[in-house]
Amino acid sequence: MKNRLKNKKAVSVVLSYVVLIIIVLTLAGITYGWLKFRIPKDTPECDENIALIIKDVNAVGGKVTITFQNKGFFTVNGILLRYSNESGAPPTHSFKTTEGEASYFNITLGPGDETTIGAFEYSGTLEKIELIPFIYDDETNEPILCENAKISETI
């Protein structure tokens, strides 16, 4: 009779350890699931070796033509192009095209490629041009601005 009582005590200790381990694993799973949604995912970024240069700006009679070249090591999918009427103000105006006002231009430029875009209309004076290249995100196909490759040129 004494052996039976002794064996039951051993079973209850083992059972309490099993229940404790199950509780700990459940709490760890809940914490992992909660943290998985709370930690932000990686945001896509442009490579540091993306670089454009403005080779020529020709502004005559309220229209502008801009020639630029990709001096970086990666392909650029387009540019964000803005201008300013004042020399000290940041560029915020969009150029006027035949389709209306536009800031984003889809122009694929490989390393070393050069292109001229233009015949854009602008209002007032043309004091400063800002050009920011962008690439498309592979997953969402959204443009990613390459702020580290932004260039401005005073006219």
Residues 69, 52: contact at Cβ < 8 Å?
yes
Section 119-145 average pLDDT: 84
Q: Answer whether 134's CB lies under 8 Å from 143's CB.
A: yes
Q: What is the pLDDT of residues 80-123, one digit of tens each?
A: 888 888 877 788 777 777 666 667 788 888 999 998 887 778 77
Backbone Cα Rg of the chain: 30
pLDDT higher than 90, residue 145: no
Does 3 have pLDDT greater than 60?
no
Q: Tell me if 117 sits within 8 A of 57, measured CB to CB.
A: no
- CA 107 to chain centroid, in Å, comes to 17
pLDDT digits (tens, 9 = 90+) for 41-53: 777 778 888 888 8
Arch. (CATH architecture) of 52-154: Sandwich (2.60)
- If residue 45 lies in a helix (H) or strand (E), which one and from where to where? none
pLDDT score at 87: 75
Q: What residue ranges do the domains of the chain occupy?
A: 1-39, 52-154
Nearest to 89 by CA among 59, 144, 129, 122: 129
Statement: residue 24 has pLDDT above 90 = yes
pLDDT at 23 over 90: yes
Question: What predicted TM-score, i.e. pTM, was given to this entire model?
Answer: 0.66
Q: What percent of the chain has pLDDT over 90?
A: 14
Give whichever of 2-6, 67-71, 136-140 has the largest mean pLDDT: 67-71
Instruction: Please report which confidence band the pLDDT of residue 8 belongs to, taking 50, 70 and 90 as the band edges.
Output: low
What are the Cα distances from residue 71, in Å, to 55, 64, 136, 137? 11, 22, 19, 21
pLDDT for the residue 20? 94
First to last CA, the chain: 102
